[in-house]
Structure 1
Amino acid sequence: MKIASVTSPNRGGTDQLLSDVAGRLHEQGVPLAGIVKDVGYASGFENGCDMKVRVLPCGPVIKITQELGAGSDACRLDPGAIAQAVATVEQGAFHDADLFILNKFGPEEAVGRGFCAAIGTALERDIPVLVGLSEANKAAFDAFSGGLATALAPQPDAILAWFREAGR
């Protein structure tokens, strides 16, 4: 199984890293599928819980959080927008991809929703899968991947080396 995860110790580091790697691979002509965080979008919330993602390889950009009003501390993820992002990925360049990137194995994936089926489809088609991972969802990801995922150093060269090896 060709699946790997990456976690940066820096806040927002995983998002920036995956976005940068996707950009480099796209410039090299590597067919990509999945999503990365739109790192140019400034969150309206101090905790950064307001997000847009870019469907690979070239868009669209989809806002995956919802406005809940001032003072709300509930999860802002918008399941409908996530479903839209999943459908857009599955209907796009997904079938010709050499790499599937998911910006974050998050709360939706931790309970078996979100991009879980798309990850499974990529793996069935022998497309390597790279996911961003936080400590909060590590146990769920380990269960999902059966403990078979490779944990990569949060460095572009480590990710690109894994991709070159996985693509063989």
Structure 2
Amino acid sequence: MNIAAIVYQGDQGAAVDALLADIAYDLRASGWKLAGAVQTPAAPRNSRCEMTLEDLATGACVEMSDELGPTASGCRLDTEALEDSVGLATASLDPATRLVIVNRFGKRETDGRGFRSMIESAVAMDVAVLVGVKQVHLDAWKRFVGDEPLMLPHERDRILAWCKDAVGSER
């Protein structure tokens, strides 16, 4: 099973988002067939809670945040939009896919929803998977993939090397 995570603390989320997007864009520009979604760094933000996911196969963007208004004190994930993004990403997954990148294994995934089914499908197809995992969800990630999951450092070159090794020359 070729699956790896980049584990991060809460304040490192934006940096890991940018790192995953950078890696995805680089691999896609090199001709890799990708599936999954990354948080697009290009979208303008009015608050830290706004999030747009970009489907890696089509480039389509889906806004993930419910609009709560200017006086709201919390963030709210639009779960319907997340499931739309999952459906879009999963539709492009096939055995010719070289790599699946998912920006988060978060609360929805720990509850058995979100991108969890796509990750399972990729593993069943023997497609390599790279995922961002917030420290608070690490135990759930371990239960999902097994007790000794591969965790990569926040180093672009080492992550790219893992991607190339995980894919191998057969694809």
Does TM, scored on the shorter chain, surpass 0.5? Answer: yes
Deviations 1:133-163 (A, max 9, x none): 1112112111111124210011111111111
> In the alignment, which residue of structure 1 is the partner of 2:81?
81
Secondary structure class of the residue paired with 1:20: helix
Distance in 2 between residues matched to 1:12 and 1:85, nearest whole Å: 19
> In the alignment, which residue of structure 1 is the partner of 2:17?
15
Distance in 2 between residues matched to 1:147 and 1:29, nearest whole Å: 34
Distance in 1 between residues matched to 2:143 and 2:167, nearest whole Å: 24
- TM-score, normalization: structure 1? 0.91
> In the alignment, which residue of structure 2 is the partner of 1:62?
62
Aligned AA for 1:126? D
> In the alignment, which residue of structure 1 is the partner of 2:140?
140
Q: Which runs of 5+ in 1 are unaligned?
A: none
Shift in CA distance, 6/144, structure 1 to aligned 2, threshold 3 Å: same
How far apart are 1:7 and its partner, in Å? Answer: 3.2
- TM-score, normalization: structure 2? 0.90
Q: 1:32 aligns with which of 31, 34, 38?
A: 34
How far apart are 1:23 and its partner, in Å? Answer: 1.0
Task: Kindly indicate whether the alpha-carbon contact (under 8 Å) linking 1:3 and 1:148 is maintained by their aligned counterparts in 2.
Answer: no
How far apart are 1:11 and its partner, in Å? Answer: 4.5
How far apart are 1:99 and its partner, in Å? Answer: 0.2
Aligned AA for 1:27? A
Distance in 1 between residues matched to 2:18 and 2:28, nearest whole Å: 15
Secondary structure class of the residue paired with 2:112: coil
Task: Kindly indicate whether the alpha-carbon contact (under 8 Å) linking 1:108 and 1:114 is maintained by their aligned counterparts in 2.
Answer: yes
**Aligned CA-pair RMSD:** 1.5
Quick one: percent identity of the two aligned structures?
33
> In the alignment, which residue of structure 2 is the partner of 1:109?
109
User: Which one is further off, 32-41 or 158-167?
Assistant: 158-167
Secondary structure class of the residue paired with 2:38: strand
- Deviation >4 Å, runs of 4+: none
How far apart are 1:70 and its partner, in Å? Answer: 3.0
How far apart are 1:8 and its partner, in Å? Answer: 4.8
User: Which one is further off, 14-23 or 131-140?
Assistant: 131-140
**Is 2:153 aligned against 1:153?**
yes
Distance in 2 between residues matched to 1:157 and 1:141, nearest whole Å: 24
Q: Number of aligned pairs?
A: 165
> In the alignment, which residue of structure 2 is the partner of 1:53?
53
Distance in 1 between residues matched to 2:74 and 2:149, nearest whole Å: 31
